[in-house]
Amino acid sequence: MRTTPAPMSAPTTGPARTTGSGEVTPAVRAVDACKVYGAGDTAVTALDDVTLDLPAGRFTAIMGPSGSGKSTLMHCLAGLDTLTSGRVLIGDTDLAALSDRERTLLRRDRLGFVFQSFNLLPTLSAEENITLPCDLAGRRPDREWFQTVVDNLALGGRLSHRPSELSGGQQQRVAVGRALISRPDVVFADEPTGALDSKAGAELLRFLRSVVDDLGQTVVMVTHDPGAAAYADSVVFLVDGRVVEELEAPTRDRVLEVMGRLAS
Amino acid sequence: MFRFSLRNLLASKVRLLLTMASVAVGVAFVAGTFVLSDTMAKAFDELYAGLTAGTDVVVRSESAYDADLTTTGGQVRPVDEGLVARVRAVPGVEVAEGSVFGYALVIDSHGQPVQPGGAPTFGTSIAVDRRLSGAATIREGRAPVGLGEIVVDARTVRRAGLALGDHVDVVFEDARRTFRLVGIVGFGETDSILGATMTGFDLPTAQTVLGKTGVVDEIDVRGADGISDSTLRDRIASVLPDGVGAETGEQVAADSTDAVRDAMGVFTTVLLVFAGVSLLVGSFVIWNTFNVLVAQRRREVALLRAVGGTRRQVLTGVLLEAVVVGVISSAAGLGLGVALAAGIRQLLKLIGVDLPTTTPAIETRTVVAAFSVGVVVTCLAAVLPAWSAARIAPMEALRTAAPVNRGSGRIRHAVGWSVLAVGALMLAACSVAGDQRWWTVVATLTTFLGLVFVGPSLARGLAAVVAHARRPGWRMAARNVARSSRRAAATALALTIGLTVVAAVAVTAASLKDSVSAAVSGGNRSDLILEPEGAGMGVSSSVADLLRARTDVDAVVELREWGAQINGDDQLVTAVDTAGLDRVIDLGIASGSLDALRAGSILVSTAQARHLGVSAGESVTVTFPETGPRPFRVAGTFDKGSLINATYVITLSDFEQNVTSRLDQAILLTTPGLDPDRAKERIGAALADYPNVTVNTPQDITRKAQHSVDQLLGIVTALLLLAVVVAVLGVVNTLVLSVMERSRELGVLRAVGATRRQVRQTIRRESVLMSTLGAVTGVALGAAAGVGLARSLSEQGITTVAVPLVTLAAYVVIAIGVGVLAAVAPARRASRVDVLRAVAEE
Ligand SMILES: Nc1ncnc2c1ncn2[C@@H]1O[C@H](COP(=O)(O)OP(=O)(O)O)[C@@H](O)[C@H]1O
Ligand SMILES: [Mg+2]
């Protein structure tokens, strides 16, 4: 178990959940996922028959050029948006079969989110932001887990501060904390380092890495930064709404190489 | 700049509508009041002009002063009928006829009185020369001749179910008589004069039945062709004795219209007060809306400044927006006002006041008033927000952070709490001291001003308390209120104003009700009290004679009242039988004695005596409209006149010498040895000929008085509710704006698992917090103001102060409930925010 993951290091499997046969169960599956915006002449196919397994206990990056459907894919996987056709499964749960309310509760109890910016509620303190999903569920947060998360994210001293009193990096860590508080099946992060400077970005990525390694969580991250993708266990490449390549144990250079190949 | 403003306005139609509505209601009240009173004046104008159309000159006694129509009925001293011949002899006079008026109540075919609500029931002589009657014509049948014949107005004929040839019973001041209906009178197209019942007789009959034998109330004259009205008037005037005057028909019509307009003055004032309250509420809504708009547009404005817009341009831009809002809402308000006036007219018709039909009078003054009120209020309310917009620095365009509440200055804070404390102390002082009507108003306004300053602190305080709640919905709602505490406070303050007035009215009404029962049980010694039914003008004095003849009745005390001036002030003078007075009522003589009340003397209430600076033995001048000034010696002062609503008491004989009317306002009886219910039954049966008289036990009187207080309270509260509605629109407005402002936050909330219901709940709770703030401050301030007010109305009969806690608590609960309702649409909007759009990176 490493504590300071380096971009160059080999992929590791975290304490994954396993089925009886010992095989790694996907935390999230997309089957023939299609998403079309609009209709007729103006229709845009954002996802084109995407089939994808995202294994539990792993850190997966989704990459691709701008407009390739990364965000759309993530929103559909996370139950924030619905597919035009195809299926998304969180564990055994088929998202398409859920009502809006059920999807909301699923997000609250089984998924976590980190967005590029504007993640936190400005009126709540850092601690209140972290425990928000529990509060919404009317549950008391598990204190031990809360402490573990907070310690991991090195937020100890700033829990009573409002978001406006925190740096961008700290705000994103609070957002990660909130995403983790209900021990979700998956944490989704859409360009979480997009609004951060490189130092804070690197720090956040190390935290995400440790979330997978030390806390056994599953993380799916959208990024267009090859350096960021190198923190992941595997990278999925999207072009024009299609999965075109998957890369295990990525390094920055290998990611760049694939990107170059895909661009040409 | 103008286009920029316009575009901003149209950007949100809902907001525009809500903002406009808040001004429009106030403007509607102003416009409606003017339209109503102008329309009524116009109607009366047309009516009187019609009635006097065939009359060139009117001869009648001069009134000692311009008496209030509502307390004197316009009665002047009748003149000797011999004068008619003298007027007729004046060269140029073609026709001169005397006419008389008086009380005459028609009894319908079921034996019930035809009693219009509020309008008079009168009898008059019918001129022989038909042209003298002007627009009043005999539509069917013929003019009455002799003691047994009568004509009746068409509306009354219809209501009483009468037909030509039927027998009609009429109750007069002195008796009940029977006639045969020979004609039906109409007034142009209208069936009645403002819903009044009119009966007509020939002159000698009218003189007999109306108690005016040998006299006439006026002489109507038509001149020969070719002689001008004014020449004729001057010629006639030269032959008239002192105290009798001649006026042209036109002048009489104009004077009558003016008198009606004066009588409507109170009504107009009350409506304008309501207008003021809703405008004040509306201005808070506007203020708030513009504040929010400016806050939301900070970046936009800063950008404008960065590319070279001057402060002045920004200021003008916002004010321009206010002007447009003001103009549109004024136009809407004006339209609403015309509708409101028509509505009130319909309402008056329902209660029997049949206004002559005429088109609504929309004078230039009304339009000017509506637009200036609307525009001025809107602009005044927008000045501060506009000013703060102008102070936005161009640099702010570059900052991304949402506007945060700038901490209110420490000075503002200190000033606010001091003003609030001063106001509260003044209110307390007024309640203790009593009789401080104007200071109570000043204190209330001061306290309110204090609330305006400390409102944000109160909002934050309330939020801080609620923020400790375990439920995240409450906590988030509280945090949101605290974050925009100024906005929350301004929203709540609009509600505060409405509820202050409503609560003050409730306290005053409750005090009045308690005082009424205290007055009846305190000063009353009578067993039965006879009153005219409904809005009847009075009870025939023959009723008292009938009762005096009975053996089961001991004391019979007649009570009359009339308008007169005391040392120059318009007042009501009460006349009583001195015999038996202290057996039916305890006036609470404070100085002098009841025995000293004889012809030429007067009892004065202690408060009025203090006001006039007179004491027992000194003299006051009572000016009767019919007979002019008369000196009276003060026989004593009294404390407990509220049962009979008396401040000045004279003897019946003095009254009869100075007032023509013989109608009793009430008759107080004692029926020793009889069970009250039994007595009521027996007296009621004895008065079968007078169905317009109600026989009441003291409890009945209390109940009736309390009922009429309740009715009044109901009407006033209903009108004030419009102001509360405006405040609620303000709550909706604030919520909608803040939902729009927070759509990203709400999106995040939804993304991390808040259900739509939870989002709705948060918005609803914000609304509840604001409503609670407004309701609690409003009801508390209103209760305090009400106590001060009640303590200052002792002369109006409020002797005890009662605070209706249940009612006030109900107001708070209702206001909070309304807060929930106000949140319905904004909450729904909040729960439908597009999660993806909200969280998508820019
Ligand atoms: N709400 C929408 N309506 C219409 N088209 C959309 C919408 N959201 C995304 N798209 C289109 O779908 C495609 C994929 O978008 P997106 O998933 O945001 O890509 P990425 O995140 O990889 O930049 C793009 O062509 C984009 O224009
Ligand atoms: Mg994207």
Asked if residue A36 belongs to a domain, the reply is: no
DSSP string for residues in B153-178: EHHHHHHHT--TT-EEEEEESS-EEE
**What is the rounded distance in angstroms from the CA atom of residue B658 to the CA atom of residue B627?**
6
- Check residue B118 and give its pLDDT: 65
CB contact under 8 A, A123 and B756: no
Show the domain range for A111: 56-82+99-263
**What is the rounded distance in angstroms from the CA atom of residue B41 to the CA atom of residue B360?**
11
- Which pLDDT band, with edges at 50, 70 and 90, does A14 fall under? very low
Closest C-alpha to B193, from B155, B138, B147: B155
Which residues does B547 contact at the CB level (< 8 Å), separation at least 6? B553, B556, B667, B669, B683, B686
Whether the CB-CB separation of B632 and B550 falls below 8 Å is answered with: no
- Which pLDDT band, with edges at 50, 70 and 90, does A18 fall under? very low
Nearest CB to A117; choose among B479, B749, B841: B841
Q: Where are the domains of chain B?
A: 101-211, 408-523+701-842, 528-696
**What is the rounded distance in angstroms from the CA atom of residue A182 to the CA atom of residue B39?**
71
Helix count and strand count (H, E) for chain B: 27, 23
φ, ψ at B730 (rounded to 5°): -60, -40
The size of the A-B interface in CB pairs under 8 A is 76
CB contact under 8 A, A105 and B753: yes
- Check residue B140 and give its pLDDT: 92
Beta-carbon neighbours within 5 Å of ion ligand 2: A 71
Asked if residue A5 belongs to a domain, the reply is: no
Helix boundaries (H) for chain A: 70-77, 100-110, 126-137, 143-152, 168-180, 198-213, 226-229, 252-263
Asked if residue A206 belongs to a domain, the reply is: yes
By CB neighbour count within 10 A (0-12 exposed, 13-18 middle, 19+ buried), where does A151 fall?
exposed
Q: Ligand 1 atom 6: the closest Cα is on which residue?
A: A37
**B746 to chain A: closest CA residue:** A121
Closest C-alpha to A206, from A157, A152, A252: A152
Q: Region A187-203: what's the mean pLDDT?
A: 88
- Which pLDDT band, with edges at 50, 70 and 90, does A51 fall under? very high
φ, ψ at A14 (rounded to 5°): -80, -175
Start-to-end Cα distance in chain A: 38
**A106 to chain B: closest CA residue:** B753
DSSP string for residues in B73-99: TT----EETHHHHHHHTSTTEEEEEEE
Helix count and strand count (H, E) for chain A: 8, 10
**What is the rounded distance in angstroms from the CA atom of residue B507 to the CA atom of residue B168?**
47
Residue spans of chain B under pLDDT 70: 1-15, 69, 117-118, 348-358, 395-409, 470, 472, 534-535, 642, 795, 839-842
**What is the rounded distance in angstroms from the CA atom of residue A36 to the CA atom of residue B744?**
24
- Check residue A100 and give its pLDDT: 86
**What is the rounded distance in angstroms from the CA atom of residue B157 to the CA atom of residue A63?**
94
Whether the CB-CB separation of B375 and B286 falls below 8 Å is answered with: no
Q: Which atom of ligand 1 is nearest to the CA of A68?
A: 22
Question: What value of ipTM does the predicted structure carry?
Answer: 0.85
Interface residue of B752, B758, B835 to substitute, partner A, most A CBs within 10 Å: B752
* Beta-bridge partner residues of B247: B58
Residue in the structure block whose two tokens are 């002589």: B125
Work out the minimum CA distance from B741 to partner chain A, whole angstroms.
13
pLDDT at A20 over 50: no
**Letter string b/e over residues A60-75, b meaning 16 or more CB atoms within 10 A of that residue's CB:** bbbbbeeebbbbbbbb
- Given strand A234-239, what is the order of strands in its sheet? A111-114, A186-190, A219-222, A59-63, A234-239, A242-248
- Check residue B238 and give its pLDDT: 92
Asked if residue A254 belongs to a domain, the reply is: yes
Asked if residue A90 belongs to a domain, the reply is: no
pLDDT at A8 over 60: no
Beta strand residue intervals within B90-213, DSSP E: 93-99, 101-107, 121-125, 136-141, 149-153, 167-172, 176-187, 197-201
* Beta-bridge partner residues of B171: B105, B176
- In tens, the pLDDT along B398-442 reads 554 444 445 556 777 888 899 999 999 998 888 888 777 888 889
Number of domains in chain A: 1
Nearest CB to A123; choose among B479, B751, B840: B479
Taking 3-state DSSP, the helix, strand and coil percentages for chain B, each rounded to the nearest 5, stand at 60, 15, 25
User: Kind and range of the H or E element at B376?
Assistant: helix B364-390
Amino acid identity, position B91: P
**What is the rounded distance in angstroms from the CA atom of residue B302 to the CA atom of residue B299?**
5
Closest C-alpha to B420, from B387, B377, B461: B461
Q: What is the CATH number of the domain that holds A217?
A: 3.40.50.300
> pTM for the whole thing?
0.78
- Check residue B258 and give its pLDDT: 82
Ligand 1 binding residues, C-beta < 6 A: A 37-38, 44, 46, 64, 66-72
- Which pLDDT band, with edges at 50, 70 and 90, does A10 fall under? very low
Q: How far is CA A62 from the centre of its chain?
A: 9
Which residues does B581 contact at the CB level (< 8 Å), separation at least 6? B557, B587, B594, B597
**Letter string b/e over residues A5-18, b meaning 16 or more CB atoms within 10 A of that residue's CB:** bebeeeebebebbe
DSSP annotation of B784: H
**What is the rounded distance in angstroms from the CA atom of residue B758 to the CA atom of residue B831?**
8
Q: Which residues of B touch A (CB under 8 A)?
A: 401-402, 404, 472, 475-476, 479-480, 482-483, 744-745, 748-756, 758, 835-836, 839-842
